[in-house]
Amino acid sequence: MEVIYHLNSLPLEHQLVIQVIIPRDLKTAVPTISTLWRTADWHEREAFDLFGIQFENHPDLRRILLANDWEGHPMQKDYKEQEYYHGITVKY
């Protein structure tokens, strides 16, 4: 898996691309850049929620799209769909 940041400065006309490769076991955390770019907070939370990528020293790393008690990360290729959620049958 990879995390790719495209950083642009419009006033200075600078562009920077940062690419971080993460082992598939997801035991490695990527350092957060939310302290440098505030909007990265939401993007990193989304990557955590859907892909399970951990961001080290993130100020508020919690789910943003799914319920807090949701099992797994649905954008991973090996994600297994839940049959039940709070006793309700989940139909796909």
pLDDT of 27 over the 80 cut: no
CATH assignment at residue 59: 3.30.460.80
Q: Give burial (CB, 10 Å; 0-12/13-18/19+) of 53.
A: buried
pLDDT of 86 over the 90 cut: no
4 forms beta bridges with 19
Q: What is d(CA 75, CA 52) in angstroms, rounded to the nearest whole number?
A: 9
The total number of structural domains that make up the chain: 1
pLDDT in tens, 47-80: 999 998 999 999 999 999 988 888 888 888 778 7
pLDDT of 25 over the 80 cut: no
Helix H or strand E encompassing 16: strand 14-21
Domain coverage including residue 50: 2-89
**What average pLDDT does the segment 14-34 reach?**
88
Q: What is d(CA 30, CA 44) in angstroms, rounded to the nearest whole number?
A: 10
